[in-house]
Every structure is written in C-alpha cells, then in structure tokens.
Structure 1
Amino acid sequence: MKTAYDVQLFLKRFGCFVYFGDRELELEFMMEELKEMFLSNLIEKEQWAQAMSILQNELTNIKRK
C-alpha cells in the first residue's frame, strides 16, 4: 500500500466500501475500520501500521489546505 486509494482497495477486500463525498470523513472512517479490524485480529500489525500511516499523512495534508 502506498496511497489512500490503495487503503480503500484493501478495505474493499473485506467488504468495506467507503464513499461519503467528504474526504476527511472518509479518512477518519477508514482509520476507525482499520483499528477495529486490527483489534479483531483480521489484519496484521504491519498492515495496520502501514495503512494508518498513509491515512494519517493524507488527513494531515487535507487539514493544511
């Protein structure tokens, strides 16, 4: 995973389709979903950490604008 879109595709593999029309809300929702997936042992720590880092960077870029 290298982009927020890659994270979206990753979540889609688990049946989580994300589209609200508000990018900031989408990123926050994806972060929450990843957290729940990690706590439920559906994904590995490395996958969780990589995806969260990507989403956090994207969220920071959006909030700067």
Structure 2
Amino acid sequence: MKTLYDVMQLLKRYGTFIYTGDYQADLEMMEDEIKELYRLQFITPKEYSTALLILRQKSSSRKK
C-alpha cells in the first residue's frame, strides 16, 4: 500500500465508500474507518500503520 487510492481500495474491500465532497472530512472519515477495521481485527497491524501514515501525510500536506 503506497497511495491514497490503495487505502480507498482497502476500505472498498470491506464495503466502505467515502466521498462527501470535502477532501479533509473524507480523510478523517477514512482514518476512523481504518481504526475500526483494526480494532475489529479485520486488517493487520502493518496495513493499519501504513494506511494511517498515508492518510496523515495527505492531511498534513493539504493543510499547508
């Protein structure tokens, strides 16, 4: 997993599609969903940490 698209595909595997029209809100919702998938042990610790890293990088680069 290397891109935001990859994170979106991971979420899609579990039936989660996020698009509100607000990019920042989408990133926050994706992060919440990733945390929930990890809490429920649907994704591995590596998938969890990689996905969060990608989402947070996108979020911080957007705020600049």
List gaps (5 residues or longer) in structure 1.
Answer: none
Q: 1: CA distance between counterparts of 2:41 and 2:9?
A: 19
Deviation of the 1:8 alpha carbon? 0.6
Aligned length: 64
Deviation of the 1:48 alpha carbon? 0.2
Dislocated runs of 4+, deviation >3 Å: none
Which residue type is aligned with residue 30 of structure 2? M
TM-score (norm 1): 0.95
Q: 2: CA distance between counterparts of 1:3 and 1:50?
A: 10
Q: 2: CA distance between counterparts of 1:5 and 1:26?
A: 13
TM-score (norm 2): 0.96
Identity of aligned residues (%): 39
Deviation of the 1:6 alpha carbon? 1.1
Deviation of the 1:5 alpha carbon? 1.4
Q: Report SS of the residue matched to 1:20.
A: coil
